[in-house]
Amino acid sequence: FFVRSMPRLLWRVYRGVAQCVFGTGYFRHPKRFLTRFMLPKALSLGGLLCLASGFAEGKREDAKSEYGVSDVLVGTYTQKLGHVDGKGRGLYRFTLDHATGVLSYVETLESSANPTWLVKNPDPERPIVYILNELYGEPGSIEVLELDKHTQQLKITQKVSSYGSGTCHGSISPDGRLLSIANYEGGVDESKANHTRKTTRPKQEHNSSVVVYNLHPNGTIGEVAWKEPHPFPGSKVVQTRQMKSHAHCSVFVHTDADRYALLAPDLGLDDVRTYLFDKYPKPKLISRGAIKAMPGAGPRHLCMHPKMNIAYVVNELDSSVSVIPLDNHGHPKNTTQVVGSLPNGFQAESTTAEILFHPSGSFVYVSNRVVGGEGIISCFKVDKQTGRLQAQSYHGSGGVCPRAMEMFADGRIMVVLNQDSDSIVSLFVDGSDGSLKTTGFKACCPSPVAAVSLN
């Protein structure tokens, strides 16, 4: 009936294309063609329509871009969890024209569930991205994605355990030899972690943790160098989120040739845990205590000023940013400033998500997830002498729940990933005052939460 009901001309077109390109199996079974080939290619019911418009927009970038084109990889939630209705199919690849802001869909790459954080190897000779898969009730994983320079094809070449659930953040040491990750939840089996630590501390499998891996010269992941659980009760100020520790981020800070500091904001503890990582004679992570945040602040992510030894922590629960200078050993001195991330008088419920710097170091941006409405991207001007922040401007995120942002090396374009409205929005950045301007272009992508440039 399906075949006979098709108009004769349409049937002939379908028959020719299906038989020549997809084989006789698809030619004889149009329904199979639709369900097994076309349906998996669609991002979502709404995304399919938007993707079509995205391709139409992409035609405007056929000519070589004056400002260059970035190859952008996007991670998504693929599962329905308590905090997100994940609809993604894995990783999505786009091109971004820096002259126009046009985002054009390239391909979809399947990965393990919930590839929600992406870390690029800093070595330009190693086109590698580390994919963190955020799972709950079981350990997550880390996948190694390599780009073939000749064919430009992407391929997952390795997968290892994250030794914890809720794996949500990672960073690479300045020398490219270490990878650190944060596990928001517990579920760690210490007996399977191949690390050098010897301790009489009992197992605390319900704790969040920070795990440090060795990286081989070719960029593949080696043995676990150290694993540090956070066996502490939460601050319990916000009881729905802070009953226990929740490591949410881990960032390396260079101190000297043989040592690194490691800073780990913990949302559940209302503090930033500080460590010194000694590489010699044997790798070890030395706890140096913590610097406290305001009660109920919920430290989420941290970024370092590109030129000054100052850390900036975005606090999720009270929508604020803490400015924390570090000493020469990477240890926090004290919090010198705390500023709100929302406009004065703003009353709606909101939580922060991401913080990042403009490449010049003159501006810092924070994404605010306004409950039930469009998100807000806040811009702060950074004092060149003290590093203190001054609110500069605010701009709509172009969607709901701006989970992530990505700024590119030229400082001209920012992309905002709106998790709950299935969209990626590109914004022009004014380098003189940091203000944002809508490019007018949007790409559809289901549940986008992480982005990284491949070039």
Distant-in-sequence, close-in-space partners of 293: CB < 8 Å, separation ≥ 6: 270, 271, 272, 299, 313, 315, 322, 335
Task: Indicate the residue type of 448.
Answer: P
What pLDDT does 10 receive? Answer: 57
What pLDDT does 191 receive? Answer: 44
Signed CA dihedral, 108, 113, 116, 120: sign only:
negative
What pLDDT does 150 receive? Answer: 87
Q: What value, to the nearest 5°, has the Cα angle with vertex 213 and ends 130 and 315? A: 70
Look at residues 189, 186, 183 and name the one whose alpha carbon lies nearest to residue 210.
Answer: 183
What pLDDT does 201 receive? Answer: 37
pLDDT tens track, the chain, 455 positions: 444 444 555 545 555 544 443 443 334 445 444 444 444 444 344 444 454 444 334 433 444 567 889 999 999 999 999 999 999 999 999 999 999 999 999 999 989 999 999 999 998 888 999 999 999 999 999 999 999 988 999 999 999 999 999 999 999 998 899 999 999 997 555 444 444 443 333 344 568 999 999 999 999 999 999 999 999 999 999 999 999 999 999 999 987 656 789 999 999 999 999 999 887 667 788 899 999 999 999 999 999 999 999 999 999 999 999 999 998 888 898 999 999 999 999 999 999 999 999 999 999 999 999 999 999 999 999 999 999 999 999 999 999 999 999 999 999 999 999 999 999 999 999 999 999 999 999 999 999 999 999 98
Q: Quick one: 217 exposed, middle or buried, by C-beta within 10 A (0-12, 13-18, 19+)?
A: exposed
Predicted TM-score (pTM) of this structure: 0.84
Q: Where are the domains of the chain?
A: 1-41
> What tokens does 272 get?
């930033």
What pLDDT does 64 receive? Answer: 53
